[in-house]
Chains A and B, each alone.
Chain A
Amino acid sequence: MSILSMTKTLFKSIVHGPYTQLYPIKPRENFERTRGSIENDIEACIFCGLCVRRCPTSALKIEKAEKLWSIERMQCIQCGYCVEVCPKKCLHMRNEYTTPNTIKVKDEYVDARVSDN
Protein backbone atom coordinates (compact mmCIF):
# COMPACT_ATOMS: atom_id res chain seq x y z
CA MET A 1 0.00 0.00 0.00
CA SER A 2 1.48 3.29 -0.97
CA ILE A 3 0.46 6.86 -1.47
CA LEU A 4 3.33 7.77 -3.75
CA SER A 5 3.08 5.09 -6.42
CA MET A 6 2.15 7.62 -9.10
CA THR A 7 5.21 9.80 -8.40
CA LYS A 8 7.53 7.89 -10.72
CA THR A 9 5.21 8.30 -13.71
CA LEU A 10 4.62 11.96 -12.86
CA PHE A 11 8.34 12.77 -12.67
CA LYS A 12 8.89 10.97 -15.93
CA SER A 13 6.24 13.05 -17.67
CA ILE A 14 7.67 16.29 -16.27
CA VAL A 15 11.06 15.39 -17.75
CA HIS A 16 9.55 14.09 -20.98
CA GLY A 17 7.36 17.10 -21.68
CA PRO A 18 3.97 16.89 -23.40
CA TYR A 19 3.11 13.63 -25.14
CA THR A 20 0.62 15.40 -27.34
CA GLN A 21 1.28 17.21 -30.59
CA LEU A 22 0.62 20.86 -31.27
CA TYR A 23 -1.98 20.16 -33.94
CA PRO A 24 -2.59 21.80 -36.49
CA ILE A 25 0.81 23.53 -36.38
CA LYS A 26 2.42 20.12 -36.45
CA PRO A 27 0.12 17.94 -38.54
CA ARG A 28 -0.20 14.23 -37.91
CA GLU A 29 1.47 11.92 -40.43
CA ASN A 30 -0.81 9.22 -41.70
CA PHE A 31 0.41 5.68 -42.16
CA GLU A 32 0.69 4.05 -45.53
CA ARG A 33 -2.33 1.84 -44.87
CA THR A 34 -4.53 4.55 -43.35
CA ARG A 35 -7.96 4.32 -44.90
CA GLY A 36 -8.53 7.98 -45.67
CA SER A 37 -10.75 8.54 -48.68
CA ILE A 38 -11.72 6.97 -51.99
CA GLU A 39 -10.34 8.34 -55.26
CA ASN A 40 -11.46 7.36 -58.73
CA ASP A 41 -9.17 7.44 -61.73
CA ILE A 42 -12.17 8.32 -63.86
CA GLU A 43 -10.41 7.89 -67.22
CA ALA A 44 -10.09 4.17 -66.55
CA CYS A 45 -13.63 3.68 -65.20
CA ILE A 46 -16.01 1.81 -67.50
CA PHE A 47 -19.13 2.70 -65.50
CA CYS A 48 -20.00 -0.94 -64.92
CA GLY A 49 -21.74 -0.09 -61.65
CA LEU A 50 -20.26 -2.94 -59.66
CA CYS A 51 -18.95 -0.61 -56.95
CA VAL A 52 -22.39 1.03 -56.71
CA ARG A 53 -24.08 -2.31 -56.20
CA ARG A 54 -21.64 -3.55 -53.60
CA CYS A 55 -21.20 -0.44 -51.45
CA PRO A 56 -22.80 -1.24 -48.06
CA THR A 57 -23.81 2.37 -47.42
CA SER A 58 -25.08 3.30 -50.91
CA ALA A 59 -22.58 6.14 -51.02
CA LEU A 60 -21.83 5.74 -54.71
CA LYS A 61 -23.87 6.68 -57.78
CA ILE A 62 -23.18 6.53 -61.49
CA GLU A 63 -24.84 8.15 -64.47
CA LYS A 64 -23.67 6.07 -67.35
CA ALA A 65 -24.99 8.42 -70.05
CA GLU A 66 -23.21 11.44 -68.60
CA LYS A 67 -20.13 9.44 -67.63
CA LEU A 68 -20.52 10.65 -64.09
CA TRP A 69 -19.35 8.82 -60.96
CA SER A 70 -20.13 10.40 -57.60
CA ILE A 71 -19.47 9.67 -53.98
CA GLU A 72 -21.25 10.98 -50.88
CA ARG A 73 -18.25 11.64 -48.67
CA MET A 74 -20.17 11.67 -45.39
CA GLN A 75 -21.90 8.41 -46.18
CA CYS A 76 -18.78 6.45 -47.10
CA ILE A 77 -17.38 4.39 -44.23
CA GLN A 78 -13.98 3.71 -45.87
CA CYS A 79 -14.52 -0.03 -45.86
CA GLY A 80 -12.70 -0.46 -49.16
CA TYR A 81 -15.14 -3.00 -50.56
CA CYS A 82 -15.59 -0.98 -53.75
CA VAL A 83 -11.81 -0.94 -54.30
CA GLU A 84 -11.78 -4.70 -53.98
CA VAL A 85 -14.57 -5.37 -56.50
CA CYS A 86 -13.72 -2.83 -59.20
CA PRO A 87 -12.80 -4.81 -62.35
CA LYS A 88 -10.68 -1.99 -63.82
CA LYS A 89 -8.86 -1.29 -60.53
CA CYS A 90 -9.48 2.41 -61.03
CA LEU A 91 -10.63 2.98 -57.46
CA HIS A 92 -7.99 3.68 -54.89
CA MET A 93 -7.91 4.27 -51.13
CA ARG A 94 -5.85 7.36 -50.36
CA ASN A 95 -4.28 7.70 -46.95
CA GLU A 96 -5.43 11.30 -46.67
CA TYR A 97 -8.78 12.19 -45.18
CA THR A 98 -11.14 14.62 -46.82
CA THR A 99 -11.47 17.98 -45.10
CA PRO A 100 -13.91 17.98 -42.17
CA ASN A 101 -17.15 19.74 -42.99
CA THR A 102 -20.48 20.77 -41.55
CA ILE A 103 -22.47 20.09 -44.69
CA LYS A 104 -22.80 16.90 -46.67
CA VAL A 105 -20.21 16.79 -49.40
CA LYS A 106 -20.69 15.01 -52.68
CA ASP A 107 -17.71 14.67 -54.98
CA GLU A 108 -18.36 14.16 -58.65
CA TYR A 109 -15.94 12.73 -61.18
CA VAL A 110 -16.79 13.21 -64.85
CA ASP A 111 -14.98 11.52 -67.66
CA ALA A 112 -14.64 14.47 -70.02
CA ARG A 113 -13.01 12.61 -72.87
CA VAL A 114 -14.91 12.60 -76.16
CA SER A 115 -15.64 9.05 -77.12
CA ASP A 116 -14.13 7.71 -80.35
CA ASN A 117 -17.28 6.71 -82.16
Chain B
Amino acid sequence: MGKRTVIPFGPQHPVLPEPIHLDLVLEDEKVVEAIPQIGYIHRGLEKLVEKRDFKQYTYVAERICGICSFMHGMGYCMAVEGIMEIEVPERGKFLRTIWAEVSRIHSHLLWLGLTADAFGFESLFMHSWRLREEVLDLFEQTTGGRVIFSVCDIGGVRKDIDAEMLNTMVSVLTRMEKELRDLTDVFLNDMSVKHRTVGVGVLSKEKAQETGAVGPMARASGISVDMRTLGYAAYKHLQFEPITAEAGDSYARMEVRIGEVYQAIELIRQCVELIPEGDVITKIKGNPNGEHFIRLEQPRGEVIYYVKANGTSFLDRFRVRTPTFANVPALLETLKDCDLADVPILILTIDPCISCTER
Protein backbone atom coordinates (compact mmCIF):
# COMPACT_ATOMS: atom_id res chain seq x y z
CA MET B 1 0.00 0.00 0.00
CA GLY B 2 1.37 3.37 -1.02
CA LYS B 3 1.21 6.52 1.00
CA ARG B 4 -2.28 7.99 1.21
CA THR B 5 -2.96 11.63 0.48
CA VAL B 6 -6.23 13.50 0.81
CA ILE B 7 -6.95 16.10 -1.85
CA PRO B 8 -9.93 18.40 -1.40
CA PHE B 9 -11.83 18.80 -4.67
CA GLY B 10 -14.27 21.68 -4.91
CA PRO B 11 -16.54 23.36 -3.89
CA GLN B 12 -14.90 25.81 -6.30
CA HIS B 13 -13.30 24.07 -9.24
CA PRO B 14 -13.07 25.16 -12.90
CA VAL B 15 -14.98 22.12 -14.08
CA LEU B 16 -17.84 22.45 -11.62
CA PRO B 17 -20.69 24.73 -12.59
CA GLU B 18 -22.07 24.33 -9.08
CA PRO B 19 -20.49 23.75 -5.71
CA ILE B 20 -19.99 20.23 -4.38
CA HIS B 21 -17.08 19.19 -2.24
CA LEU B 22 -15.26 15.85 -2.45
CA ASP B 23 -12.42 14.64 -0.27
CA LEU B 24 -10.40 12.42 -2.58
CA VAL B 25 -8.26 9.83 -0.82
CA LEU B 26 -5.38 9.03 -3.16
CA GLU B 27 -2.75 6.37 -3.36
CA ASP B 28 -0.22 7.77 -5.78
CA GLU B 29 -2.38 8.91 -8.72
CA LYS B 30 -5.27 6.54 -8.01
CA VAL B 31 -8.39 7.52 -6.10
CA VAL B 32 -9.23 4.90 -3.48
CA GLU B 33 -12.13 6.67 -1.88
CA ALA B 34 -14.20 9.81 -2.30
CA ILE B 35 -16.15 11.43 0.51
CA PRO B 36 -18.79 13.90 -0.72
CA GLN B 37 -20.14 16.89 1.11
CA ILE B 38 -23.02 19.06 0.01
CA GLY B 39 -24.79 21.99 1.60
CA TYR B 40 -23.31 25.03 -0.12
CA ILE B 41 -26.44 26.16 -1.90
CA HIS B 42 -29.32 25.01 0.22
CA ARG B 43 -32.17 27.48 -0.30
CA GLY B 44 -34.97 25.98 1.75
CA LEU B 45 -37.41 25.82 -1.14
CA GLU B 46 -39.34 22.92 0.40
CA LYS B 47 -39.99 24.94 3.53
CA LEU B 48 -41.28 27.82 1.44
CA VAL B 49 -44.60 26.03 0.86
CA GLU B 50 -45.56 27.33 4.29
CA LYS B 51 -45.08 30.93 3.18
CA ARG B 52 -46.38 30.89 -0.40
CA ASP B 53 -49.79 29.54 -1.28
CA PHE B 54 -50.08 26.52 -3.54
CA LYS B 55 -50.72 28.58 -6.67
CA GLN B 56 -47.82 30.96 -6.06
CA TYR B 57 -45.64 27.94 -5.39
CA THR B 58 -45.95 26.87 -9.03
CA TYR B 59 -43.51 29.66 -9.85
CA VAL B 60 -41.22 28.69 -7.00
CA ALA B 61 -41.20 24.99 -7.97
CA GLU B 62 -39.92 25.91 -11.42
CA ARG B 63 -37.00 27.68 -9.88
CA ILE B 64 -35.67 24.61 -8.10
CA CYS B 65 -33.46 24.13 -11.13
CA GLY B 66 -32.48 26.32 -14.05
CA ILE B 67 -32.27 23.45 -16.51
CA CYS B 68 -35.13 21.09 -15.68
CA SER B 69 -37.28 24.06 -14.71
CA PHE B 70 -40.19 23.02 -16.89
CA MET B 71 -40.32 19.54 -15.47
CA HIS B 72 -40.09 20.73 -11.88
CA GLY B 73 -43.08 22.95 -12.49
CA MET B 74 -44.90 20.16 -14.27
CA GLY B 75 -44.18 17.58 -11.55
CA TYR B 76 -45.45 19.90 -8.84
CA CYS B 77 -48.57 20.73 -10.84
CA MET B 78 -49.23 17.06 -11.59
CA ALA B 79 -48.97 16.21 -7.90
CA VAL B 80 -51.46 18.94 -6.94
CA GLU B 81 -53.74 17.91 -9.81
CA GLY B 82 -53.56 14.37 -8.44
CA ILE B 83 -54.83 15.55 -5.07
CA MET B 84 -57.58 17.70 -6.52
CA GLU B 85 -58.51 15.09 -9.13
CA ILE B 86 -58.25 17.51 -12.00
CA GLU B 87 -58.17 16.17 -15.54
CA VAL B 88 -55.84 18.23 -17.73
CA PRO B 89 -57.19 18.78 -21.29
CA GLU B 90 -55.48 16.60 -23.89
CA ARG B 91 -53.98 19.56 -25.73
CA GLY B 92 -52.48 20.76 -22.47
CA LYS B 93 -50.91 17.36 -21.93
CA PHE B 94 -49.39 17.34 -25.40
CA LEU B 95 -48.00 20.85 -24.95
CA ARG B 96 -46.46 19.78 -21.66
CA THR B 97 -44.85 16.83 -23.40
CA ILE B 98 -43.48 19.03 -26.18
CA TRP B 99 -41.94 21.48 -23.73
CA ALA B 100 -40.58 18.64 -21.62
CA GLU B 101 -38.86 17.11 -24.62
CA VAL B 102 -37.47 20.45 -25.79
CA SER B 103 -36.08 20.80 -22.24
CA ARG B 104 -34.41 17.44 -22.64
CA ILE B 105 -32.67 18.56 -25.84
CA HIS B 106 -31.58 21.78 -24.17
CA SER B 107 -30.28 19.97 -21.12
CA HIS B 108 -28.38 17.29 -23.02
CA LEU B 109 -26.79 19.86 -25.35
CA LEU B 110 -25.72 21.83 -22.31
CA TRP B 111 -24.22 18.68 -20.85
CA LEU B 112 -22.42 17.77 -24.07
CA GLY B 113 -20.90 21.24 -24.13
CA LEU B 114 -19.78 21.07 -20.51
CA THR B 115 -18.25 17.65 -21.05
CA ALA B 116 -16.34 18.88 -24.10
CA ASP B 117 -15.16 21.77 -21.95
CA ALA B 118 -14.07 19.34 -19.23
CA PHE B 119 -11.77 17.45 -21.54
CA GLY B 120 -10.53 20.66 -23.05
CA PHE B 121 -12.21 20.56 -26.47
CA GLU B 122 -13.27 24.20 -26.51
CA SER B 123 -14.59 24.50 -30.07
CA LEU B 124 -16.80 21.46 -29.57
CA PHE B 125 -18.13 23.10 -26.41
CA MET B 126 -18.92 26.32 -28.27
CA HIS B 127 -20.68 24.51 -31.10
CA SER B 128 -22.83 22.45 -28.73
CA TRP B 129 -23.92 25.63 -27.02
CA ARG B 130 -24.52 27.37 -30.30
CA LEU B 131 -27.08 24.72 -31.17
CA ARG B 132 -28.54 24.93 -27.71
CA GLU B 133 -29.07 28.62 -28.28
CA GLU B 134 -31.53 27.84 -31.08
CA VAL B 135 -33.48 25.63 -28.70
CA LEU B 136 -33.56 28.44 -26.16
CA ASP B 137 -34.93 30.73 -28.85
CA LEU B 138 -37.74 28.24 -29.46
CA PHE B 139 -38.49 28.41 -25.77
CA GLU B 140 -38.51 32.17 -25.76
CA GLN B 141 -40.82 32.29 -28.75
CA THR B 142 -43.32 29.91 -27.22
CA THR B 143 -43.14 30.66 -23.49
CA GLY B 144 -41.52 34.07 -23.16
CA GLY B 145 -38.52 32.86 -21.19
CA ARG B 146 -35.25 31.20 -22.05
CA VAL B 147 -34.80 28.92 -19.06
CA ILE B 148 -37.61 29.82 -16.68
CA PHE B 149 -40.88 29.47 -18.49
CA SER B 150 -43.81 30.14 -16.14
CA VAL B 151 -46.14 28.31 -18.51
CA CYS B 152 -47.10 25.27 -16.49
CA ASP B 153 -50.01 25.85 -14.19
CA ILE B 154 -52.22 23.69 -12.02
CA GLY B 155 -54.84 22.33 -14.43
CA GLY B 156 -52.84 22.67 -17.64
CA VAL B 157 -50.63 25.23 -19.33
CA ARG B 158 -50.99 29.00 -19.49
CA LYS B 159 -50.02 29.51 -23.12
CA ASP B 160 -50.98 27.74 -26.31
CA ILE B 161 -48.71 27.18 -29.29
CA ASP B 162 -50.45 27.71 -32.62
CA ALA B 163 -50.12 25.29 -35.55
CA GLU B 164 -47.76 27.57 -37.43
CA MET B 165 -45.38 27.79 -34.51
CA LEU B 166 -45.53 24.03 -33.98
CA ASN B 167 -44.47 23.52 -37.58
CA THR B 168 -41.70 26.08 -37.21
CA MET B 169 -40.47 24.18 -34.17
CA VAL B 170 -40.33 20.95 -36.13
CA SER B 171 -38.53 22.55 -39.06
CA VAL B 172 -35.98 24.26 -36.79
CA LEU B 173 -35.34 20.98 -35.02
CA THR B 174 -35.04 19.08 -38.30
CA ARG B 175 -32.47 21.54 -39.58
CA MET B 176 -30.68 21.37 -36.26
CA GLU B 177 -30.67 17.60 -36.39
CA LYS B 178 -28.47 17.70 -39.49
CA GLU B 179 -25.91 19.95 -37.85
CA LEU B 180 -26.13 17.86 -34.72
CA ARG B 181 -25.13 14.74 -36.66
CA ASP B 182 -21.81 16.38 -37.54
CA LEU B 183 -21.29 17.37 -33.96
CA THR B 184 -22.25 14.10 -32.31
CA ASP B 185 -20.04 12.34 -34.82
CA VAL B 186 -17.14 14.12 -33.13
CA PHE B 187 -18.32 13.05 -29.68
CA LEU B 188 -18.75 9.45 -30.71
CA ASN B 189 -15.85 8.90 -33.10
CA ASP B 190 -13.08 11.38 -32.43
CA MET B 191 -9.92 9.76 -31.19
CA SER B 192 -9.11 12.35 -28.52
CA VAL B 193 -12.65 12.24 -27.13
CA LYS B 194 -12.70 8.45 -27.05
CA HIS B 195 -9.34 8.47 -25.36
CA ARG B 196 -10.84 10.35 -22.43
CA THR B 197 -14.13 8.45 -22.18
CA VAL B 198 -13.91 4.81 -23.32
CA GLY B 199 -13.45 2.49 -20.37
CA VAL B 200 -13.31 5.39 -17.89
CA GLY B 201 -15.48 5.09 -14.79
CA VAL B 202 -17.19 1.80 -15.49
CA LEU B 203 -20.35 1.22 -13.49
CA SER B 204 -21.48 -2.39 -13.75
CA LYS B 205 -25.14 -3.29 -14.02
CA GLU B 206 -25.12 -4.85 -10.53
CA LYS B 207 -23.46 -1.80 -8.97
CA ALA B 208 -25.91 0.48 -10.75
CA GLN B 209 -28.80 -1.52 -9.27
CA GLU B 210 -27.19 -1.58 -5.86
CA THR B 211 -26.48 2.16 -5.68
CA GLY B 212 -29.91 3.02 -7.06
CA ALA B 213 -28.68 4.92 -10.11
CA VAL B 214 -31.36 6.59 -12.23
CA GLY B 215 -31.73 8.06 -15.70
CA PRO B 216 -28.95 7.95 -18.31
CA MET B 217 -26.54 6.76 -15.62
CA ALA B 218 -28.58 3.56 -15.13
CA ARG B 219 -29.48 3.18 -18.79
CA ALA B 220 -25.81 3.36 -19.81
CA SER B 221 -25.20 0.35 -17.54
CA GLY B 222 -27.83 -1.68 -19.31
CA ILE B 223 -30.82 -1.09 -17.03
CA SER B 224 -33.83 -0.21 -19.12
CA VAL B 225 -35.55 2.20 -16.75
CA ASP B 226 -37.38 5.26 -18.00
CA MET B 227 -40.29 6.85 -16.17
CA ARG B 228 -41.78 8.10 -19.42
CA THR B 229 -42.90 4.53 -20.05
CA LEU B 230 -45.39 5.04 -17.19
CA GLY B 231 -47.32 7.11 -19.72
CA TYR B 232 -47.84 10.37 -17.83
CA ALA B 233 -48.80 13.49 -19.83
CA ALA B 234 -49.02 12.48 -23.50
CA TYR B 235 -46.33 9.80 -23.43
CA LYS B 236 -48.93 7.06 -23.53
CA HIS B 237 -49.78 8.11 -27.09
CA LEU B 238 -46.18 8.13 -28.31
CA GLN B 239 -44.01 5.35 -29.68
CA PHE B 240 -40.60 5.08 -28.09
CA GLU B 241 -38.20 2.71 -26.39
CA PRO B 242 -35.79 3.68 -23.59
CA ILE B 243 -32.28 4.14 -25.00
CA THR B 244 -29.74 1.93 -23.31
CA ALA B 245 -26.09 0.96 -23.63
CA GLU B 246 -24.19 -1.93 -22.10
CA ALA B 247 -20.67 -0.75 -21.36
CA GLY B 248 -21.43 1.44 -18.35
CA ASP B 249 -18.44 3.72 -18.96
CA SER B 250 -18.33 7.46 -19.63
CA TYR B 251 -18.58 6.83 -23.36
CA ALA B 252 -21.78 4.81 -22.91
CA ARG B 253 -23.32 7.59 -20.84
CA MET B 254 -22.51 10.02 -23.61
CA GLU B 255 -23.95 7.65 -26.20
CA VAL B 256 -27.21 7.35 -24.27
CA ARG B 257 -27.61 11.11 -23.92
CA ILE B 258 -26.85 11.71 -27.59
CA GLY B 259 -29.40 9.04 -28.51
CA GLU B 260 -31.93 10.79 -26.30
CA VAL B 261 -31.48 14.10 -28.10
CA TYR B 262 -32.52 12.46 -31.38
CA GLN B 263 -35.28 10.57 -29.60
CA ALA B 264 -36.61 13.83 -28.16
CA ILE B 265 -36.71 15.40 -31.64
CA GLU B 266 -38.63 12.37 -32.88
CA LEU B 267 -41.05 12.56 -29.94
CA ILE B 268 -41.74 16.23 -30.66
CA ARG B 269 -42.51 15.31 -34.26
CA GLN B 270 -44.96 12.67 -33.09
CA CYS B 271 -46.59 15.14 -30.68
CA VAL B 272 -47.03 17.77 -33.39
CA GLU B 273 -48.72 15.19 -35.59
CA LEU B 274 -51.03 13.91 -32.88
CA ILE B 275 -51.87 17.08 -30.95
CA PRO B 276 -55.65 17.57 -30.74
CA GLU B 277 -57.46 20.92 -30.79
CA GLY B 278 -59.15 22.24 -27.68
CA ASP B 279 -58.57 23.92 -24.35
CA VAL B 280 -55.20 23.95 -22.71
CA ILE B 281 -56.24 24.50 -19.10
CA THR B 282 -59.00 23.47 -16.72
CA LYS B 283 -60.13 26.04 -14.17
CA ILE B 284 -59.55 24.94 -10.62
CA LYS B 285 -61.75 25.60 -7.62
CA GLY B 286 -61.04 25.31 -3.93
CA ASN B 287 -57.95 24.12 -2.13
CA PRO B 288 -56.24 20.75 -2.25
CA ASN B 289 -56.75 18.29 0.59
CA GLY B 290 -54.85 15.01 0.74
CA GLU B 291 -51.53 13.69 -0.45
CA HIS B 292 -50.01 12.59 -3.70
CA PHE B 293 -46.81 11.08 -4.99
CA ILE B 294 -45.56 11.29 -8.53
CA ARG B 295 -42.56 10.19 -10.61
CA LEU B 296 -41.27 11.81 -13.80
CA GLU B 297 -38.29 11.35 -16.08
CA GLN B 298 -36.11 14.43 -16.16
CA PRO B 299 -33.09 14.74 -18.45
CA ARG B 300 -30.98 13.61 -15.50
CA GLY B 301 -33.21 10.76 -14.46
CA GLU B 302 -36.13 9.91 -12.27
CA VAL B 303 -37.46 12.62 -10.01
CA ILE B 304 -39.97 12.10 -7.22
CA TYR B 305 -42.47 14.64 -5.89
CA TYR B 306 -44.56 14.29 -2.80
CA VAL B 307 -47.20 16.84 -1.85
CA LYS B 308 -49.33 16.85 1.28
CA ALA B 309 -52.15 19.35 1.57
CA ASN B 310 -54.54 20.16 4.38
CA GLY B 311 -57.46 21.94 2.73
CA THR B 312 -56.06 25.44 3.22
CA SER B 313 -54.23 27.36 0.52
CA PHE B 314 -50.88 26.51 2.15
CA LEU B 315 -49.44 23.04 1.74
CA ASP B 316 -48.26 20.93 4.66
CA ARG B 317 -45.32 19.35 2.96
CA PHE B 318 -43.60 19.31 -0.37
CA ARG B 319 -40.74 16.95 -1.04
CA VAL B 320 -38.53 16.50 -4.10
CA ARG B 321 -35.98 13.73 -4.60
CA THR B 322 -33.92 14.83 -7.55
CA PRO B 323 -31.98 12.53 -9.91
CA THR B 324 -28.57 13.91 -9.00
CA PHE B 325 -29.16 13.04 -5.36
CA ALA B 326 -29.89 9.45 -6.41
CA ASN B 327 -26.82 9.35 -8.64
CA VAL B 328 -24.26 10.53 -6.07
CA PRO B 329 -23.69 6.98 -4.64
CA ALA B 330 -23.18 5.71 -8.19
CA LEU B 331 -20.70 8.53 -8.79
CA LEU B 332 -18.71 7.51 -5.71
CA GLU B 333 -18.66 3.97 -7.05
CA THR B 334 -17.22 5.09 -10.41
CA LEU B 335 -14.62 7.27 -8.67
CA LYS B 336 -13.05 4.25 -6.95
CA ASP B 337 -9.80 3.27 -8.66
CA CYS B 338 -9.92 6.04 -11.22
CA ASP B 339 -7.06 8.37 -12.05
CA LEU B 340 -7.00 11.77 -10.43
CA ALA B 341 -7.03 13.38 -13.88
CA ASP B 342 -10.32 11.65 -14.73
CA VAL B 343 -12.19 12.89 -11.67
CA PRO B 344 -13.61 16.03 -13.35
CA ILE B 345 -15.00 14.02 -16.27
CA LEU B 346 -16.50 11.40 -14.00
CA ILE B 347 -18.24 14.02 -11.93
CA LEU B 348 -19.65 15.51 -15.10
CA THR B 349 -20.87 12.22 -16.52
CA ILE B 350 -23.60 11.98 -13.89
CA ASP B 351 -24.74 15.38 -15.18
CA PRO B 352 -24.71 16.88 -11.70
CA CYS B 353 -27.25 19.49 -10.75
CA ILE B 354 -26.37 20.50 -7.24
CA SER B 355 -28.96 23.26 -6.88
CA CYS B 356 -31.66 20.67 -7.55
CA THR B 357 -30.13 18.28 -5.08
CA GLU B 358 -30.03 20.77 -2.25
CA ARG B 359 -33.19 22.63 -3.18
Contact = CB atoms under 8 A, between A and B. Distances in A.
A5 B185 contact: yes
A66 B150 CA distance: 32
Interface string B83-112: 000000000000000000000000000000
Contact of A5 (B63, B148, B189): B189
B295 interface: no
Contact of B182 (A2, A8, A32, A95): A8
Contacts of B189: 1-2, 5
Chain B interface main SS type? helix
A79 B190 contact: no
B186 A5 contact: yes
A58 B52 CA distance: 10
A9 B189 CA distance: 14
B52 A56 contact: yes
A33 B59 contact: no
Interface stretch (B36-44, B138-146, B214-222, B270-278): B138-146
B147 to A, nearest CB: 12
A29 B127 CA distance: 22
B143 A33 contact: yes
A78 B142 CA distance: 15
A65 interface: no
A79 B59 contact: yes
Given A33-B141, A35-B144, A2 B191 contact: yes
A3 B195 CA distance: 11
A23 interface: no
B145 A35 contact: yes
Contacts of A80: 144, 150, 158
A78 B150 contact: yes
B186 A56 contact: no
A10 interface: yes
Contacts of B191: 1-3
Contacts, number: 70
A79 B192 contact: no
B190 A33 contact: no
Nearest to B62: A79
Interface residues of A, number: 26
A33 B52 contact: no
B144 A3 contact: no
B145 A31 contact: no
Contacts of B56: 54, 56, 81
A22 to B, nearest CB: 16
B182 to A, nearest CB: 5
Contacts of A6: 121, 123-124, 186, 190
Q: Which of A10, A77, A93 has the most chain B CB within a 10 Å cutoff?
A: A77
Contact of B140 (A1, A33, A77): A33
A49 to B, nearest CB: 15
B4 interface: no
Nearest to A95: B144
A34 interface: yes
Contacts of A93: 144
B336 interface: no
A95 B213 CA distance: 42
Contacts of B124: 6
A54 to B, nearest CB: 7
A34 to B, nearest CB: 5
Contact of A10 (B63, B123, B145): B123
Interface in B127-153: 127, 130, 137, 140-145, 148, 150
Given A3-B192, A6-B190, A54-B56, 14 more contacts: A1-B189, A1-B190, A1-B194, A2-B189, A2-B191, A5-B185, A9-B123, A10-B123, A33-B141, A34-B144, A35-B144, A56-B57, A81-B55, A95-B144
11 contacts: A1-B194, A2-B191, A9-B127, A10-B123, A33-B144, A34-B145, A35-B145, A79-B59, A80-B150, A81-B55, A93-B144
10 cross-chain pairs, A with B, having the tightest CB-CB distances, nearest first: A35-B144, A56-B56, A33-B144, A79-B59, A5-B186, A5-B190, A79-B150, A31-B141, A3-B191, A56-B59
